Amino acid sequence: MMDAAAHALSDPTRRQILQLVRDDESTVGEIASNFPVTRPAISQHLKVLVDAQLMAVRPDGNRRYYRARPEGLTDLRAWLDSFWRTSLRNLKVEVERERWNELKDESQHRGLDDG
């Protein structure tokens, strides 16, 4: 599912659609009214988002209501977070190494100044 989510999010229109339905559900017509493309084009984007499990659909009579499914981002987020954790770990090691070298240099200079 991570690949499907990444593919779905690669399109700026789909990212904007997710933003629109992040906090509240909307119909296709309500969503389409925010874009300069046809309603069938929006329906195609919605299909990709639903297939990627990033959106849920709730039928109500002849209308379909769409809402974001943040839990659909779980795998993708975990994968991205792994890069962040590695970067933070590497930064910590580098800062500690730099600080160790500074302390070592200060200690050596004090030793020379005393002699």
**Domain co-membership, 66 together with 94:** no
Q: Mark whether 85 and 100 lie in a shared domain.
A: yes
Tally the domains of the chain.
Answer: 2
Q: Which two tokens stand for residue 92?
A: 């910590």
Same domain for 24 and 56, yes or no, is yes
Q: What is the pLDDT of residues 8-43, one digit of tens each?
A: 999 999 999 999 999 999 999 999 999 999 999 999
Whole-model pTM: value is: 0.71
Per residue in 44-73, pLDDT (tens digit) is 999 999 999 999 999 999 999 999 999 998
Closest CA to 43 of 24, 64, 71: 64
CATH of the domain at 36: 1.10.10.10
Cβ-contact 50, 56 below 8 angstroms:
yes
Q: Determine the 3-state secondary structure of 36 from DSSP.
A: coil
Pair (95, 107) in one structural domain: yes
Mean pLDDT score, 95-103: 82
Same structural domain for residues 13 and 63? yes
Beta-bridge partners for 65? 27, 58
Claim to verify: residue 8 and residue 50 sit in the same structural domain = yes
Domain with 95, as residue range(s), is 73-114
In which band, very low, low, confident or very high, does the pLDDT at 113 lie, cut at 50, 70 and 90?
A: low
Identity of the amino acid at 25: E
Residues 23 and 66 grouped into a single domain = yes
Q: Could you tell me the pLDDT band of residue 86, with boundaries at 50, 70 and 90? A: confident
Cα 34 to Cα 4, 44, 63, 87: the distances in Å are: 24, 15, 18, 38
